[in-house]
Chain A
């Protein structure tokens, strides 16, 4: 046991590979940012569909949300990476391949758009109707009201909830290691195969994520509290 303890405390192996591991973490961030952009845009679109006055649009939005909110991340990533290229290939009559980065971004983006859609929808419905009527009474178009009155408030109101979802999305980016995207976990797995010392490596990886996410969530929450208090005092 003492030997394993010694092995555990041998952080040096982590330090030795620090460059390659940091690069892996950067890949996680890169996938996170791209997927977040996709998820936010699609989520906003789906939310707007869900609050539309026309029933077929509402149904479409609900379909999108129910499919992607209930889909496991890993299943979607595998599907997008292995099935989608084949489908597109048969459509275009060529061989089509998806870069694993792109697969991951598409898959995670769509899945998390389901969560963001619900967050946005709740925020939109929470805006008091009176403010919208005040806008209409001045002759503002519905589009003007949406972008200048409704959405700014939705963003501020739903920020805490959204932070949780961003953190979930960041954690989900580790899945890309399973389709050979060189993120932190992928590097850790590679190094483990070489060095055969899973203990410090996996523990170290866990601690890295722990630290990054802990710091990020506290910082984001503090910043969002200050911003919101200005208005919802």
Chain B
């Protein structure tokens, strides 16, 4: 099994740079997905005239497979909008779109779950809607939807493996490139699979611990 050293360990620089790209794409996509999801959710719930648009967009992003969205954003959008200009951008845009659809629905569920009385109590002491939203609604929604948000991040990480298809040099791309050179796929692909599984496992465990801690700290879930 000295093969492991030759085939995997010696390539660690390339793999590491691929991992960096993966992490970058996932973080950017995650941040945009949260913003986008929140935007879509608020428009759907509070901006009457644009409601149908928001609903269609949300359903569209949720119902189309991520691979389809990646290819569509990468090949069709530049012709339509002249943007994205790089594969990297297309990658995180597509990932963000997919997750923003799910997060929009998650946020909507969280907002609707807050008892009406909370809002009424806030209005009764003279708080304006924006303040109510920022100080009463948003924190509770953040806490109750924390597990779903963490879950969505793991989905982004898992979906990011597909960006190699549009030649973004993430971990999967580097791994397959090396396999194509040496053609000894066993060690490299197994190692790659193990790395991804471990990363996703760590992310979901850490995320769960974080959200549990936050919820306990703010008194929502009992330990």
Judged by CB atoms under 8 Å, the answer to whether A and B touch is yes
Q: A residues near B, CB below 8 A? A: 4, 7-8, 66-67, 70-76, 78-79, 82-83, 86-87, 167, 171-175, 177-178, 185, 189, 192, 198-199, 202-203, 205-206, 209-210, 213-214, 217
Q: Tell yes or no: B190 within 8 A of A by CB.
A: yes
A residues near B68, Cβ cutoff 8 Å: 174, 185, 202, 205-206, 209
Q: Is the CB of A185 within 8 A of B66?
A: no
Question: Is the C-beta of B89 less than 8 angstroms from some C-beta in chain A?
Answer: no
Give A6 Cβ to nearest chain B Cβ, in Å: 11
Please give the distance in Å from B48's CB to the nearest CB on chain A: 23
| Cβ–Cβ contact A70 & B64, under 8 A | no
Q: Is the CB of B67 within 8 A of A175?
A: yes
User: When chains A and B are docked, how far (Å) is the Cα of A89 from the Cα of B60?
Assistant: 43
Contact B172 A206 (CB under 8 A): no
> Is B53 an interface residue, CB under 8 A from the partner?
no
CB pair B72–A82 under 8 Å, yes or no, is no
User: Cα distance A71–B158 when bound, in Å?
Assistant: 7
- Chain B interface residue count, Cβ-Cβ cutoff 8 angstroms: 37
Q: Report yes or no: B80 in contact with A4, Cβ–Cβ below 8 A.
A: yes
Provide the residues of chain A in CB contact with B172, threshold 8 Å.
Answer: 74-75
Stretch at the interface among B10-18, B27-35, B127-135, B192-200: B192-200
Residues of B near A66 (CB, < 8 A) are 201
Bound-complex Cα distance A73 to B161 (A): 8
Contacting pair A217 B200 (CB below 8 A): no
Please name all residues of chain B whose beta carbon is closer than 8 Å to the beta carbon of A178 when the two chains form the complex.
Answer: 67, 165
Residue in chain A with minimal CB distance to B195: A75
Are B72 and A203 neighbours in the complex by a CB distance under 8 Å? Answer: yes
Chain A residues positioned under 8 Å from B196 (CB to CB): 70-72, 75
Inside 8 A of B207's CB, which chain A residues have their CB?
none
Asked if B185 contacts A199 (CB within 8 A), the reply is no
Considering the complex, give the chain A residue whose CB is closest to the CB of B82.
A1
CA distance A133 to B49 in the complex (A): 56
A-facing residues in B73-130 (Cβ within 8 Å): 75-76, 79-80
Instruction: Say whether A79 contacts B190, CB under 8 Å.
Output: yes
List 8 A-B pairs, minimum CB-CB distance, nearest first.
A171-B65, A198-B75, A72-B158, A70-B200, A213-B63, A74-B161, A174-B65, A72-B161
B43 within 8 A of A: no
- Centre residue among A72, A73, A171 by max chain B CB count within 10 A: A72
Cβ–Cβ contact A174 & B67, under 8 A: yes
Q: Within 8 Å of chain A (Cβ to Cβ): is B148?
A: no
In whole angstroms, what is the CA distance A122 to B120 when docked? 36
Interface centre among A83, A86, A173 (most CB of B within 10 A): A83
Q: Which residues of A contact B186 (CB under 8 A)?
A: 83, 86-87
B189 touching A82 by the CB < 8 A rule? yes
Other A-B pairs, 12, CB within 8 Å; known A70-B158, A210-B59: A70-B197, A72-B196, A76-B193, A78-B176, A82-B189, A83-B189, A87-B186, A172-B65, A199-B76, A202-B68, A206-B60, A210-B60
Interface string of B140-163 (1 = CB under 8 A from A): 000000000000001001111110
Do A185 and B76 touch (CB < 8 A)?
A: no
A214 to B69, CA, bound (A): 16
Q: Are B79 and A7 in contact (CB under 8 A)?
A: yes
* Complex interface: chain A residues within 8 A of B204 (CB): 70
Chain A residue nearest to B56 (CB atoms) is A210
B197: A residues at CB distance < 8 A: 67, 70-71
15 A-B contact pairs sorted by A residue (CB < 8 Å): A4-B79, A70-B154, A70-B204, A71-B200, A74-B161, A76-B193, A79-B193, A87-B186, A171-B66, A174-B67, A185-B67, A205-B68, A206-B69, A209-B68, A210-B60
Note all chain B residues with C-beta closer than 8 A to A214: 59, 63
Q: Is the CB of B154 within 8 A of A198?
A: no
- Give bound CA distance, A63 to B67, whole Å: 28
Chain A residues lying within 8 Å of B137, measured Cβ to Cβ, are: none
Q: How far is the CA of A86 from the CA of B3 in the complex (A)?
A: 15
Bound complex: CA of A172 vs CA of B165, how far in Å? Answer: 15
Tell yes or no: B23 within 8 A of A by CB: no
Among A87, A189, A199, find the residue whose CB has the most chain B CB atoms closer than 10 A: A199
For B190, the chain A residues whose CB sits under 8 A away are 79, 83
Are B185 and A71 in contact, CB atoms less than 8 angstroms apart?
Answer: no
Q: A86–B72 contact, CB under 8 A?
A: no
